[in-house]
Structure 1
Amino acid sequence: MKYQKTEAKAHARETMRGIWAAALNPFDDTLALNEDGLRRNIRHWIDDLEIQGLFIAGKQGEFWSMSIEERKRNMTIAVEECGETAGTIMSISDQNVDTVLDLGYHAQECGADYVVVHAPMLSFCHDRDEVLYNYYKYLCDRLDIGIAMWSHPDSGYLMEPETCARIAELPNIMAIKYSVPREMYARLTRLVGDKILVSTSAEADWLDNIEELGWQLYLCSSPPYQLQTKNDRRMHEYTRLAFAGKFAEARRVRDSLDPVRKAIAETKPGGKPTAHGKYWQELLGQVGGRVRHPMLELTEAEKATTCAAFEDCGLQL
């Protein structure tokens, strides 16, 4: 641990800045975790693209398909490769709270910077404020590492800004990945943006959120390594310009990526987001690999359509 429990908020505000990406996990032809491929991707992401932090073993990483030991190994590899160059935030999300704690203790022991825990599924529960507060308090009481909340529609509901603001008072709650409509995350920023870091995964809104909401952190999804190459780092560039207050110039750079965004959006089958992301990685020269059940693989026709769009989108390899 690089900080005391009560220092989590201040440490996050000092160290969590810029672009943090959510890692897809490469699985080989036998569906085993391709550790060499993962290490190669991480080195590219932080050395060539200068991504400042990685979100490990989350939904992009297909955590639900991995054993507890695989998830721990996933974390350890990321810490080893990131070293002092990039930060790490480990998803320890699970419906079983003992599993969440087990993964949280491992994150602390292996040298992770932070952890993130998504809001649990709550069957038959409509008055959620007290339930959620006590859930995160239970974890905060037992873990010393900084904890980020994570609210997204897959839980079956969205955490209300006022609920998040209450939880933000807990000592080692230091951030939230808030996958909600903009009005909700803007309201939460106004409520507790001086206490915790508020962020969302919508890359298209990142520049506006820097300018209008004063955000310092993009947390997290796959665009940082899908929209960029070693020779074409426009997301990095428009972020740098925005942080320097050069918003008009930053907007021109951001908008120049629209053909890439369109190529990804128009070729991604609705039921195959993970396989599409991994194939796009392969087109970029990264290690993609297979997906695990229940996710579906791309057909050859879908790959051909994606490849054609990739070649026309204007990314410089």
Structure 2
Amino acid sequence: MVSDSGLSPHGVVPPLVTPLDEHGEVDRRSLERLVSYQLDAGVDGVFVGGSSGEIALLDTAQRRMAVEVTTSTVAGAVPVLVGAVDTGTRRVIEHARQAARLGADAVVVTAPFYIQPHPAEIVAHFRYVREAVDVPVVAYDIPSAVGARLTPEIVTELADAKTVVALKDSSGDLASFREILRRTDLPTLSGSELFADIAIELGAAGLVPGLGNVDPHGYVRLHRAVRDGDIAAARAEQDRLARLFRIVSVADRGRIGFTAGALGAFKAALALRGVIDCPATNLPLSPLSPAETDAIAAVLNDQGL
């Protein structure tokens, strides 16, 4: 089923949150507004079903609805990347085939997890997925969630075999990131909100920042500034975005986990900006308190948003 679409992800590709209503169902109208908000900002693609989209928590109906709404709203304007993330190869293939049927331009795949795979098993996992679907595969390195690393050696093998068309790097390991750029010509996308300017300067093909949900315009400006050689402007934009990123630290960690605090902050900020209607996150994530939401509003006001 393998085909070559020539897809080369690049630029700013925000990993969309999944707006939910008060009953926990995907809020179609809010997601449509979120996608339109991204397109109006000039993004180069969107990623649905990533970590910011709560992929590990979505049920089958939620996942399907999120992909359907995103692909129909984008309507071919930019590539749509869809997460196919699960514990094992057969499950990932099932998700990937569904995403392809719903119009995904590529699927984004992590190493298998829970099973503590050997590097050779990780390589085989990607090969099996690639052979099973007729859309390109983007490798996703997020060891904080998966446990296993996509090391430079693994990524080089995947790149040399043309198993994947790009890498999304959320490892936080700048040395490994640089080594991958040195060893391969694989388009590499950085998931860092705080080192976005440095990643592009080093040769990253693009950015996949969760904060891009809230301020896609800022990341588009940053990317264009680096591309145009205006490093001072890029640094200033990165500093402003770093101040905005403080919203993920508002939640009381004695009461709520990091993921609930960060994704809740993104959704609260989007609700405050009028992009989505409800800031609800999926079970079992706890909601932000009214005081925490007020603190997020204060940060938005400080940054002119």
TM-score by length of 2: 0.89
Letter in 1 for 2:222: Y
**174, 199, 209: which one aligns with 1:209:** 199
The answer as to whether partners of 1:28 and 1:34 remain within 8 angstroms in 2 is yes
The answer as to whether partners of 1:199 and 1:217 remain within 8 angstroms in 2 is yes
How many residues are treated as equivalent by the alignment?
A: 296
The 1:307–1:249 alpha-carbon spacing in structure 2 relative to 1, beyond 3 Å, is closer
The answer as to whether partners of 1:60 and 1:221 remain within 8 angstroms in 2 is no
SS in 2 for 1:103: helix
SS in 2 for 1:61: coil
The answer on 1:121 being equivalent to 2:77 is: no
Which residue number in structure 1 is paired with residue 72 of structure 2? 80
**178, 183, 194: which one aligns with 2:175:** 183
Letter in 2 for 1:68: T
Which residue number in structure 2 is paired with residue 307 of structure 1? 297
The answer on 1:237 being equivalent to 2:221 is: yes
The answer as to whether partners of 1:107 and 1:115 remain within 8 angstroms in 2 is yes
The 1:206–1:173 alpha-carbon spacing in structure 2 relative to 1, beyond 3 Å, is same
The answer as to whether partners of 1:145 and 1:172 remain within 8 angstroms in 2 is no
The 1:101–1:133 alpha-carbon spacing in structure 2 relative to 1, beyond 3 Å, is same
Of residues 235-244 and 177-186 in structure 1, the stretch that sits farther from structure 2 once superposed is 235-244
The answer on 1:66 being equivalent to 2:58 is: yes
Which residue number in structure 2 is paired with residue 146 of structure 1? 136
The answer as to whether partners of 1:20 and 1:54 remain within 8 angstroms in 2 is yes
The 1:77–1:292 alpha-carbon spacing in structure 2 relative to 1, beyond 3 Å, is same
Which residue number in structure 2 is paired with residue 12 of structure 1? 7
TM-superposition CA deviations, 1:66-105 (whole Å, max 9, x none): 2223312221211111112221100011114333222212
Of residues 130-139 and 269-278 in structure 1, the stretch that sits farther from structure 2 once superposed is 269-278
Give, in angstroms, the shift of residue 258 of structure 1.
4.0
Map of 1:1-317 to 2, 5 A cutoff?
Answer: 5=3, 7-8=4-5, 11-13=6-8, 16-47=9-40, 49-123=41-115, 125=117, 128-152=118-142, 153-180=144-171, 181-192=173-184, 194=185, 196-211=186-201, 213-218=202-207, 220-228=208-216, 233-262=217-246, 264-270=247-253, 271=257, 272-287=261-276, 288-311=278-301, 313-316=302-305
TM-superposition CA deviations, 1:239-297 (whole Å, max 9, x none): 212111222333233334443234x2442444122212111111222114311112110
Give, in angstroms, the shift of residue 174 of structure 1.
0.5
Of all paired residues, the percent bearing the same amino acid is 19
The 1:102–1:265 alpha-carbon spacing in structure 2 relative to 1, beyond 3 Å, is closer
Question: RMSD between aligned alpha carbons?
Answer: 2.1
The answer as to whether partners of 1:19 and 1:51 remain within 8 angstroms in 2 is yes
The 1:253–1:32 alpha-carbon spacing in structure 2 relative to 1, beyond 3 Å, is closer
Give, in angstroms, the shift of residue 114 of structure 1.
0.7
> Residues of 2 paired with 1:191 and 1:149: CA distance?
16
Give, in angstroms, the shift of residue 36 of structure 1.
1.4
TM-score by length of 1: 0.86
The answer as to whether partners of 1:118 and 1:150 remain within 8 angstroms in 2 is yes
Give, in angstroms, the shift of residue 302 of structure 1.
1.6
Letter in 2 for 1:19: V
> Residues of 1 paired with 2:157 and 2:221: CA distance?
36
> Residues of 2 paired with 1:290 and 1:261: CA distance?
19
> Residues of 2 paired with 1:93 and 1:259: CA distance?
31
Letter in 2 for 1:234: G
SS in 2 for 1:203: coil
The 1:61–1:234 alpha-carbon spacing in structure 2 relative to 1, beyond 3 Å, is closer
Give, in angstroms, the shift of residue 124 of structure 1.
5.3
The answer as to whether partners of 2:12 and 2:44 remain within 8 angstroms in 1 is yes
- Unmatched segments (≥5 aa) in structure 2: none
